């Protein structure tokens, strides 16, 4: 058995898999998102899954699934170590011993330029992750904290890092270099990296492997835009399986409006705020990362469900926020369509685009000039997965729930071997 840990800014997602066939015999993983699903060819089975949310909050809780049933444990998770200990407890409650877990996989957001593939974590990897903390200040510190805690919780298991930036490393130099003195790239590795690669990779693979019934034009020269929109958000332009551009660049702060992150701003705002408010560069960075975005645009709630509900009730502030949010997404779909010289399919994934028919509708409405047309009945049918574009749409629009845990599991045979 092996455990997948996906630690975020206030949560830990986990999945436990069982593998009954030697790793060397693996050639392909079937992609899906059902607890208890077994790959018929390889007998890879998801045993249980769950998420610890609102860590550090008094109303934190752990949702988990096992054998088709769901439970919720409410607790006050003081920190990530406390949440991980609770996860281990529920795993053991289900009759699974810690000693049965041979490897623990960790999603790590940023790697700088050190690693381009998954690696077994040793002292050099730990040093590299720590050295990239300033590039992903919200995530890397948390990722490393969970790695160190898991080394203690599972002392005999291999700890493995899967990097969120790896999928975007097919970008050409002209697409990842900033127009600043080149010496700063050589000296500090200031460049565009691309994020949410695990999610973008998963939905792209699933589009190719499981949606063959959807006739995609130019299958030999396929141009796809994948949109991952949740608390963090990014868009990828993909041509024939290679990422041409991703909207998160040097850090996960750039481009789209997110839960607490500002996305694009004029860089001159940083020294302007620092001067006017007598703030340090670190304090301004903290404002842009943790005190901006949806949460701070709307004083009542930064939860998109609440904002959408207020939008439907004709709340002026909510309508303005939704328009800002959608316009930023549209801006980069347009830009990437030009970069790719067309788009054959747009994939919508992650919490907001998987669940909000309104946001999907507003995005597609502004893509009508591309020939995008959606089937309103399909879009409003609470579908969990599938095509929402109409038969006469020139661009296919498909909702595919992401499954980063399973995508991380796909890396198993590349790293562990026999």
Query: Checking phi first, is residue 293 left (phi over 0); if not, alpha (psi -120 to 50) or beta?
Result: left
> Cβ neighbours of residue 66 under 8 Å, at least 6 residues apart?
35, 47, 48, 90, 94
Q: Is there a contact between 104 and 5 (Cβ–Cβ < 8 Å)?
A: yes
Long-range pairs for 147-151: beta carbons < 8 A, 24 or more residues apart: 147/106, 147/108, 147/121, 149/80, 149/81, 149/84, 150/5, 150/84, 150/104, 150/106
Q: Is there a contact between 139 and 84 (Cβ–Cβ < 8 Å)?
A: no
Considering the candidates 164, 303, 315, 344, report the single residue annotated as catalytic.
Answer: 164
HSE-up (13 A, CA, CB side) for residue 254: 17
Please give the C-alpha separations between residue 46 and each of 16, 62, 273, 278, 304, in angstroms, as whole numbers: 6, 18, 49, 52, 30
Please give the C-alpha separations between residue 358 and each of 7, 138, 257, in angstroms, as whole numbers: 29, 30, 17
Longest dimension (CA), the chain: 63
Interatomic CA distance for residues 280 and 167, integer angstroms: 34
Question: Is 75 known to be catalytic?
Answer: no
Long-range pairs for 303-306: beta carbons < 8 A, 24 or more residues apart: 304/351, 304/352, 304/356, 304/359, 305/356
Q: Is there a contact between 98 and 154 (Cβ–Cβ < 8 Å)?
A: yes
**Which token pair is 364?**
């597609």
Residues annotated as catalytic are 164
């Amino acid at each position: 058995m092996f455990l997948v840990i996906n630690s975020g800014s206030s949560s830990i997602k986990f999945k436990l898999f069982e593998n009954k066939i030697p790793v060397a015999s693996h050639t392909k993983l079937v992609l899906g998102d059902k607890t208890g699903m077994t790959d018929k060819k390889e007998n890879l089975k998801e045993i249980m899954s769950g998420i610890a949310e609102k860590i550090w909050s008094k109303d934190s809780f752990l949702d988990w699934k096992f054998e088709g049933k769901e439970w919720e444990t409410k607790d006050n998770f003081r920190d990530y170590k406390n949440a991980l200990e609770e996860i281990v407890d529920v795993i053991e409650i289900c009759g699974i011993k810690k000693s049965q877990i041979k490897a623990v996989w960790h999603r790590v957001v940023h790697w700088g330029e050190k690693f381009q593939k998954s690696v077994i974590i040793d002292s050099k990897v730990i040093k590299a992750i720590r050295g990239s903390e300033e590039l992903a200040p919200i995530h890397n510190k948390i990722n490393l904290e969970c790695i160190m805690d898991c080394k203690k919780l599972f002392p005999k298991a291999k700890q493995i890092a899967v990097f969120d930036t790896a999928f975007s490393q097919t970008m050409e130099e002209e697409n990842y270099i900033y127009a600043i003195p080149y010496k700063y790239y050589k000296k500090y590795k200031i460049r565009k990296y691309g994020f949410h690669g695990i999610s973008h990779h998963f939905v792209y693979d699933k589009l190719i492997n499981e949606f063959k019934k959807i006739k995609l034009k130019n299958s030999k020269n396929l141009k796809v835009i994948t949109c991952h929109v949740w608390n963090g958000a990014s868009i990828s332009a993909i041509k024939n399986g290679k990422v041409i551009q991703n909207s998160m660049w040097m850090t996960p702060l750039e481009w789209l409006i997110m839960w607490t992150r500002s996305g694009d701003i004029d860089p001159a705002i940083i020294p302007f705020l620092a001067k006017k408010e007598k703030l340090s560069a670190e304090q301004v960075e903290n404002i842009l990362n943790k005190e901006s975005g949806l949460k701070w645009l709307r004083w009542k709630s930064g939860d998109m469900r609440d904002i959408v509900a207020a939008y439907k009730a004709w709340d002026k502030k909510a309508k303005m926020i939704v328009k800002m949010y959608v316009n930023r997404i549209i801006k980069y779909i347009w830009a990437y369509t030009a970069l790719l010289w067309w788009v054959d399919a747009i994939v919508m994934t992650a919490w907001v685009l998987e669940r909000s028919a309104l946001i999907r509708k507003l995005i597609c409405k502004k893509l009508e000039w591309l020939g995008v047309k959606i089937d309103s009945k399909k879009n409003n049918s609470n579908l969990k997965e599938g095509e929402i574009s109409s038969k006469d749409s020139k661009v296919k629009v498909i909702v595919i729930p992401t499954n980063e845990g399973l995508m991380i599991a796909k890396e198993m045979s590349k790293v562990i071997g026999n």
